[in-house]
């Protein structure tokens, strides 16, 4: 049996489902003002994270800070991005999102961040039923996927205002797993749901803030991380360029009304914009408590 997330229930207003990037969110049509701005992204050197890094480089962002554990993939990402986008400065740090003292140190040292993207995730190589999971494994999921996200956001919010001005953005790379039952992935699903809830609380706790918070499902992307535990024929996969371009759109002015919400990169942005009044009138809509009835 092949899983197709296009068959998963979604808001009735989402009439168009995208498996690839499209003109409406392409770098050539973006309304995001990248001039003088800095992107800070964890796991930004490979897979979905690299796609996001590259899309922001394409729109002319001034600086990209990439955090990843492996120095060799960081070096390759820096080389590729700076060769293709010479006007973007790329800085790299070999570190783990769960190394909280080190993450605090790095964030303070880079000083200015306009767009924060917690993209790193923990996903065990083996799918395990809940009753057979170890406490240690559950703790690993929550340390990286929940506490790691919380720590990044809290340190980011403590930074002074950036010279570039304009609203800042937190774009948490989440997963459809936050609202699905996936056999053997109870801890992963629970951790993604918990991280979404934290992002919503950050957004709603600071209603007058100039920081906008979003969680988004990047799509069904067959990354090396996924390849470790899932066969390729299990699902219908989508193009890795989609989450990169969608992230840039999400950081722009058209998406500000989605502050605190959880959305999918595959949902058409004009279908989303049509929901602006509904989102404004219902604080729970497109959050963890969402009802699609």
| Pair 56, 115: CB distance under 8 Å | yes
| Structure token digits, residue 172 | 């948490």
Q: Is 192 noted as a catalytic residue in this protein?
A: yes
Q: Is 93 noted as a catalytic residue in this protein?
A: no
Q: Is 292 noted as a catalytic residue in this protein?
A: no
* Alpha-helix residue ranges (DSSP H) falling in the chain: 47-58, 71-84, 100-110, 135-142, 148-157, 186-205, 224-227, 241-250, 269-273, 276-281
Q: Which of 85, 175, 188, 241 is catalytic?
A: 188
What phi, psi does 167 have (nearest 5°)? -70, 145
* In the block, residue with structure tokens 């949902």: 267
* In the block, residue with structure tokens 């749901």: 193
| Structure token digits, residue 239 | 């193009």
Q: Which of 50, 52, 98 is nearest to 76 (CA)?
A: 50
- Partnered with residue 267 across adjacent β-strands are 17
Q: Which of 37, 168, 192, 212 is catalytic?
A: 192
What phi, psi does 3 have (nearest 5°)? -80, 130
Q: Which of 98, 174, 220, 266 is catalytic?
A: 174
Residues carrying an active site annotation:
174, 188, 192
């Amino acid at each position: 049996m092949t899983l197709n997330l296009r068959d998963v229930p979604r808001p009735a207003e989402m009439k168009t489902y995208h498996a690839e990037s499209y003109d409406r969110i392409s770098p050539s049509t973006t309304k995001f003002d990248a001039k003088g701005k800095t992107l800070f992204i964890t796991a930004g050197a490979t897979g979905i994270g690299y796609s996001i890094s590259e899309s922001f480089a394409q729109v002319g962002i001034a600086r990209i800070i990439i955090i990843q554990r492996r120095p060799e993939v960081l070096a390759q990402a820096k080389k590729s991005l700076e060769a293709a986008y010479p006007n973007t400065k790329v800085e790299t740090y070999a570190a783990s999102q769960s190394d909280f003292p080190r993450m605090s140190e790095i964030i303070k040292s880079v000083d200015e961040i306009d767009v924060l993207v917690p993209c790193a995730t923990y996903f065990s190589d083996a799918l395990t039923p809940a009753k057979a999971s170890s406490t240690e494994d559950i703790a690993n999921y929550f340390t990286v996927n929940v506490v790691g996200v919380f720590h990044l956001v809290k340190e980011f919010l403590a930074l002074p205002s950036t010279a570039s001005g304009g609203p800042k953005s937190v774009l948490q790379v989440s997963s459809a797993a936050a609202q699905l039952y996936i056999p053997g992935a109870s801890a992963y699903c629970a951790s993604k749901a918990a991280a979404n809830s934290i992002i919503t609380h950050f957004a709603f706790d600071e209603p007058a803030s100039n920081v906008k918070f979003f969680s988004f499902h990047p799509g069904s992307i067959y990354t090396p991380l996924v390849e470790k535990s899932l066969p390729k024929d299990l699902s219908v996969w989508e193009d890795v360029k989609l989450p990169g371009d969608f992230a840039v759109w999400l950081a722009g002015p058209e998406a500000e009304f989605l502050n605190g919400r959880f959305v999918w990169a595959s949902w058409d942005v004009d279908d989303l914009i049509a929901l602006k009044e509904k989102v404004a009138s219902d604080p729970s809509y497109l959050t963890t408590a969402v009802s699609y009835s």
